[in-house]
Amino acid sequence: QQQVKQSPQSLIVQKGGISIINCAYENTAFDYFPWYQQFPGKGPALLIAIRPDVSEKKEGRFTISFNKSAKQFSLHIMDSQPGDSATYFCAAEAGANNLFFGTGTRLTVIP
């Protein structure tokens, strides 16, 4: 049973465009929602995270939008660059000892 559902599975965006990845969850006990970026041969790296007391968080070109009532959250990458090409994972956690990951989105940014 997938605790966090992520879409799309893959995404191709032109350089300078906006990349949008969506996630949905059911467990209302989740209280921490991070996004990770993973390059081939590397472990995931924390990109940005949000807690459910805010609806949006922005760090540079990366923004998380959070909709508590719909139990959905999304990652927006503005001005996408070829260096952003990687696999992105959303995740959710209730307490600090069990992080549930989505299935990943492979982003390709075309120059």
100 is a site residue for other proteins (CB under 8 A): yes
CB atoms within 10 A of CB 65: 16
**CB within 8 A of 76, min separation 6: which ones?**
18, 19, 20, 62, 63, 64, 65
Interface with other proteins (CB under 8 A), residue from 11, 22, 52, 99 = 99
How is residue 50 written in tokens?
């949000």
Closest CB 95 distance from other proteins, rounded Å: 8
Binding mask 37-66 for other proteins (x = CB under 8 A): ----xxxxxx--x-----------------
**Amino acid in the structure at residue 10:** S
Residues near other proteins, by CB under 8 A: 6, 32, 34, 41-46, 49, 89, 91, 93, 95-104
